[in-house]
């Protein structure tokens, strides 16, 4: 149950927070945006499919030290055999148990 004292304390806290934060954004010492910041702002405000990054405007053309790496070899590239790897396994004899009447 809310009492009038509780309700008044909530209102006072809300008013204190508003008074404390009223000048948060108006008193900034940031410099005016330069040419690059304005261009980036235009790019970021564009629709998601019109960003310069998605249109490949930014390319990373560089060479790696040591040259191009060869493509990785996968199991699809390995030579196929005619025998199953499990067909050549030599298994020991099963131990004698009482479960089999023949021993």
Q: What does the pLDDT look like over 63-97, one tens digit per residue?
A: 778 888 888 888 888 888 788 777 788 888 877 77
11-14: Cβ within 8 A, 24+ apart: none
> What integer pLDDT is reported at residue 53 of this predicted model?
67
The DSSP-derived string for 32-93 is PP-HHHHHHHHHHHS-GGG-TTTTT-S------TT-PPPPPP-GGGSPP-SS-TTTT--PPP
Average pLDDT over residues 31-58: 77
């Amino acid at each position: 149950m809310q009492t009038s004292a509780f309700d008044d304390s909530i209102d006072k806290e809300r008013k204190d927070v508003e008074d404390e934060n009223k000048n948060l954004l108006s008193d900034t010492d940031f410099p005016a945006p330069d040419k690059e910041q304005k261009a980036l702002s235009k790019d970021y405000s564009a629709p998601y499919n019109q960003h310069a990054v998605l249109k490949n405007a930014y390319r990373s053309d560089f060479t790696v030290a040591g040259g191009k790496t060869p493509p990785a070899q996968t199991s699809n590239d390995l030579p196929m055999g005619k025998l199953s790897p499990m067909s050549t396994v030599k298994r020991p004899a099963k131990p004698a148990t009482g479960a089999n009447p023949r021993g």
